[in-house]
Structure 1
Amino acid sequence: MSNYIRFDWAMKRLLRNKANFAVLEGFLTTLLRDRIKIQKLLESESNQEEEFDKYNRVDLLAEDSKGTLLLIEIQNNNEYAYFQRMLFGTSKLVTEYINRGEGYDKVRKVYSINIVYFSLGHGKDIVYHGKTEFRGIHQNDILELSPFQRQTFKVDTVSQLYPEYYILKVNDFNQVAQTPLEEWIYYLNTGEIPDQAQAPGLNAARERLKLDRMSKDELKAYYRHLDNIVILRDNINTERAEGRAEGRAEGRAEGRAEGRAEGRAEGLEAGRQEERRQNAIRMKAKGFPTQDIADITGLSPEEIDRL
């Protein structure tokens, strides 16, 4: 079990603190291959507190020292129109962060960074980068900036003026981390930071995202968040299995709906109970008092003693 807090929870509760910017800066520096210094965090739509959004989606909007906008979004649930959602998010930022009457030269550069815990699209890689280029339909050449535009906007290509997109499909990463970016993806996927990992920001994460730094109330909320993630993924897997089963057995099984509902409830409760047990084992190994573990996980002291 991991000794560190999941990145989505950290983004919602911890990384918004300026003292913890080094974690985010390291992640962004590794991904964008450019030294990123966060100037401030800005308001975004992520401050919703509906029960579903609490664990399904987290986003964070930052501004770096150059005025670039960085929208980081984590999505736990499958969303078939997610590509359009990315487009909507960047378009909204472009229009919101320009003052009325300002010229188009004031349009801000936006990076949209999407960490998805579901199968998005069809591809073999784990990190995808999208940018805008204009290519000739006859000569197949790329439209370039004039020398004056390069000097005025301080960029080399047209694509640098447009929003850029990054998609990290972290669930698909199942290999040994060999690069700094892979070290980050390993942490995003597993919540673990290997001792040998040296990617920018991970040393700060080791210090500031440890579970044993959390209070009892924070741990209780965090483990409830993990429970919700288990339920969410069980729901997704159950719905997929049901869809396949219904396709094979359509129109033949009376009472199937009732049995399916009962099976789903049993499966969700079993997954939730196992997650509680694993959390209790982890806390027990760290020397937490039995009663504190019981209060946080909901297990009885007798159950905890048997672990």
Structure 2
Amino acid sequence: MSKRKLISFDWAMKRLLRSKANFEILEGFLSELVDDDITILEVLESESNKVNRWDKFNRVDLKVKNSKEEVIIIEVQYDRELDYLQRILYGASRVITEHLQEGEPYSKIVKVISVSILYFDLGHGMDYVYYGSTSFTGLHKKDVLQLSQGQQELYQKSKAYEIFPEYYLIKVNNFDDIAKNTLDEWIYFLKNEEIKDNFKAKGLKKAKEELDILKLPEEERLAYERYQDDLHYQASMVESSYTIGVKEGKKEGKNEEKRQIASNLISAGVLDLESISKATGIALEEIKAMKDNRR
């Protein structure tokens, strides 16, 4: 028997998961990801209230506490575009500065965890979940710098890396659809928009109940269907534009058409700038300028 399709996670984040009644779903996902018991205290204001597929920012900022009762800001981003590594650095920095009040000492800087759910191939790598943190290693002794006793008391942290932002990159399309643990069960849902009956990960039972497409009010369901149709259209546009670009890229006298193709590819955000340059025959510097002008 085929599994009933659920609402995609990115749509749910935009429309449904900001409600306190559905915090259990996000808490489950984050708890499985960071291997800790996460409780959401509140959803913070951010630019992620937009609904359009082309929005520059798609994220939600959450104030949470962990099993140690530490308050942390977790920024969840979900996107289908490139140009991303610098964006997550900017996002984490923005959260830090926004939550340090004027006149407060640096010891009050909030801990940030950045979670990126990626529906495109970011960089080269075989895994589907990547983790990054900051540590300081001696050039000569190769030892890792530790916090002093006074710093541990001041920051309420035992390790230096715990002060700095931590990053999780989930490359959804790299997942092989074999759920070997509860985190994999969540990633299976992120990729396939369905939850198997034997899945036991935190939050998935609630997600299965609340994210059923058939439970949506008609107006909301139609809006979701339009959103999905838009994604399919953009994927088709990219495929056809890329094909045309390869054929036309070396022909002279078609600069305007090639620029339009490049503009479409930049908007769709599923190819890097060098690939767009090669496909259209437009110089890389011009492609970069076109992208900058869209911001």
Shorter-chain-normalised TM-score: which range? 0.7 to 0.9
1:223 aligns with 2:225: yes
Paired residue secondary structure (2:71): coil
Paired residue secondary structure (1:11): helix
User: For 1:262-277, what aligned pairs fall within 5 Å after superposition?
Assistant: none
Per-residue CA deviations over 1:83-107 (Å, capped at 9, x if unaligned) read: 0001111111111111000000000
User: For 1:208-219, what aligned pairs fall within 5 Å after superposition?
Assistant: 208-219=210-221
- Please name the residue that 2:44 is paired with: 42
Q: Which of residues 162, 165, 169 in structure 1 aligns to 2:164? A: 162
Structure richer in helix, relative to its length:
1
Provide the TM-score with structure 1 as the length reference.
0.77
Per-residue CA deviations over 1:200-228 (Å, capped at 9, x if unaligned) read: 11011011111121111111001001011
Displacement of 1:161: 0.3
User: For 1:191-210, what aligned pairs fall within 5 Å after superposition?
Assistant: 191-210=193-212
Aligned AA for 1:3?
K
User: For 1:26-41, what aligned pairs fall within 5 Å after superposition?
Assistant: 26-41=28-43
- Name the % identity: 39
Displacement of 1:156: 1.8
- Please name the residue that 1:69 is paired with: 73
Of 132-141 and 235-244, the range deviating more from structure 2: 235-244
- Aligned Cα root-mean-square deviation (Å): 2.4
User: For 1:284-295, what aligned pairs fall within 5 Å after superposition?
Assistant: none
- Checking the alignment, whether the CA contact within 8 Å between 1:11 and 1:58 is kept in structure 2 is no
Displacement of 1:231: 1.8
Q: Distance in 2 between matches of 1:154 and 1:189?
A: 37
Paired residue secondary structure (1:52): coil
- Checking the alignment, whether the CA contact within 8 Å between 2:63 and 2:72 is kept in structure 1 is yes
Of 2-11 and 236-245, the range deviating more from structure 2: 236-245
- Checking the alignment, whether the CA contact within 8 Å between 1:129 and 1:164 is kept in structure 2 is yes
Q: Return 5+ residue gaps in structure 1 as ranges.
A: 265-307
- Please name the residue that 2:59 is paired with: 59
- Checking the alignment, whether the CA contact within 8 Å between 1:2 and 1:190 is kept in structure 2 is no
- Checking the alignment, whether the CA contact within 8 Å between 2:116 and 2:170 is kept in structure 1 is yes
Displacement of 1:2: 4.2
Aligned residues: 255
Per-residue CA deviations over 1:38-96 (Å, capped at 9, x if unaligned) read: 0000001112355622xx852111001332101001002x32x2100011111111111
Of 146-155 and 214-223, the range deviating more from structure 2: 146-155
Aligned AA for 2:64?
D
Q: Distance in 2 between matches of 1:153 and 1:191?
A: 40
- Please name the residue that 2:272 is paired with: none
Going from structure 1 to structure 2, the CA distance change for 1:98 and 1:164 (only over 3 Å counts) comes to same
Q: Distance in 1 between matches of 2:124 and 2:241?
A: 20
Q: Return 5+ residue gaps in structure 2 as ranges.
A: 265-295
Aligned AA for 1:172?
N
Provide the TM-score with structure 2 as the length reference.
0.80
